[in-house]
Amino acid sequence: MFKKITAALIISTFLIFSLTGCRPTENSSSEQTTGDSKEVITIRVGHVLAPDHPYTIGLNKFAELVAEKTDSKVKVEVFHSSQLGNERDMIEGLQLGTLEMALVSTAPLSSFTNDFLVFDLPFMFKDTASARKIVDSEIGQNMLDSLESQKVIGLAYWENGFRNVTNNKKPIETPADLKGLKIRTMESPVQMESFNALGASATPMAFGELFTALQQNTIDGQENPLAIISTSKFYEVQKYLSLTEHFYAPAPLLISQSFFNGLSPDIQTAIKEAAIEARDFERNAIDEMSASLLDELKASGMIINTPDKAPFIEAVKPVYEKFTGQIPAELIKSVQDAQK
């Protein structure tokens, strides 16, 4: 009896393997195409913002361009709303090679090189045109190049725009109006020091936790560009919007060095070209959205004011004094001189 059972098991096992052994698994990286089969390279790219933010719009365009330039050999999958983790998580994933690409703010990059802290200095850039000119220049490229020692490659600077203050207490007309307000900032020592210098209580917090913290009145306010204020629906939990434009927010598009180096030269070139073309597309989306957002946010119930920046600029001078040295003085000067 035992021999019969054993024989039956052997035959059953043989049949299972003969039927399934040649099938690709669900996790296979290859896809079948009509009359042919080819390996498709999948790139996951993540960001922390909403699905209708220009980040997503730009990344969808990037995916389209990459597919076009590689004859569909490369597929880009876009993950929004912190689906792949917060910005620090994603940057670490790039370093480890467990994530292919990410679109992030510059604040967490200052952990790797102090040069990126220059973007956190308050009122460093006078307008959008000046900011784009500088990040697209040798100054900006040198900063991206510095990331390669950290196993990350910077492809291009995309954009989030200038950051503005919202809160639930009152319009911010002077620095005195910020006194005692608990304002969420990014995890940047320069940004935190800037708001403390203005009299606020700077409270660093991951972006994914922000809406709930505002809703529950854990904090009084936050600071972000108009596109984020709109797409993240902060108008539902914030009454006042003050157009302080205190920080400019570029957004580097990053790729894992180990992943990039494993690609063929033609695919590397396609990704680089697509990053620049999609950058311009994304910036245009930011411009178009910003042109209409003030009216839309006002219609949503926000009270909007435009304060005189002069007293704010005066109040944050100690921030420059504190961080000059930690941020290379020659870098600060080159950014300032480029805007004259």
Question: pLDDT tens digit string along 193-240?
Answer: 999 999 999 999 999 999 999 999 999 999 999 999 999 999 999 999
State how far the Cα of 91 lies from the Cα of 109, in Å rounded to an integer: 8
Give pLDDT, residue 32: 34
6 vs 335, more confident: 335
CATH number for region 40-337: 3.40.190.170
Residue spans per domain, the chain: 40-337
329-337 helix and 138-145 helix, angle to the nearest 10 degrees = 150
Which pLDDT score, from 0 to 100, does residue 34 have?
32
Q: What is the mean pLDDT of the chain?
A: 90
Confidence of residue 111 (pLDDT cuts 50, 70, 90): confident
DSSP-derived 3-state class of residue 30:
strand
Structure tokens at 265: 């030269």
* Model confidence band, residue 135 (pLDDT cutoffs 50, 70, 90): very high
Query: What is the full DSSP assignment across 175-236?
Result: GGGGTT-EEEE-S-HHHHHHHHHTT-EEEE--GGGHHHHHHTTSSSEEEE-HHHHHHTTGGG
pLDDT band at 187 (very low <50, low <70, confident <90, very high): confident
How far is Cα 116 from Cα 196, in angstroms, rounded to an integer?
20
Q: pLDDT category, 112, cuts 50, 70, 90?
A: confident
| Residue 167 pLDDT level (bands cut at 50, 70, 90) | very high
Q: Is residue 171 pLDDT above 90, yes or no? A: yes
CA nearest to 58, candidates 45, 73, 70: 45
pTM: 0.86
